[in-house]
Amino acid sequence: MIEAYQFGEIKINGEIYHEDVYLDWKGEILRWQRKESHWIDLEDVNLALEKNPEILIIGTGAYGVAKVSEKVKEKANELNLDLLILPTNEAIEAFEKNLSEGKKVVGLFHLTC
């Protein structure tokens, strides 16, 4: 599904995206917009949570600059949801691994910083 990633660019199923993306195990790809660029709060992950995944993976950027709020972590815990917060290249590897294992996984990938 995810073929390549470099700072500011991700290639999924032959298409290149230059904006942060939402990607789920069904292959749905959406632009992932947040209220604040380097801050990920509960409202920024609501769509992902509505899909009832087993695993939510958040890519925090090439250098891991984006930060995830405690509210997101608490909500994931409340839902018994595995939450992985990783630099984007590692988040992509984790997404692909879980997808290949047949898990219901959602990836939210910040492409820069």
Q: Residue ranges per domain, the chain?
A: 19-109
pLDDT at 70: 98
pTM: 0.97
Residue in the block written with tokens 């230059």? 18
Q: Give tens-digit pLDDT for 41-80.
A: 999 999 999 999 999 999 999 999 999 999 999 999 999 9
Q: What are phi and psi of 5, to 5 degrees?
A: -145, 135
How high is the pLDDT of residue 75? 97
Q: How confident is the model at residue 16 (pLDDT cuts 50, 70, 90)?
A: very high
Q: Is the pLDDT of residue 37 over 90?
A: no
Inform me whether the pLDDT recorded for 88 exceeds 90. yes
Residues of the chain with pLDDT > 90, as a percent, come to 97
Amino acid 83: pLDDT:
98
Considering the domain 19-109 in this protein, what is its CATH number? 3.40.1230.10
Rounded-to-integer distance, Cα 63 and Cα 112, Å: 8
Instruction: Grade residue 89 by pLDDT with cuts at 50, 70 and 90.
Output: very high
**Residue 94 token pair:** 């984790």
Q: Compute the distance between CA of residue 84 and CA of residue 81 in angstroms, rounded to an integer.
A: 10
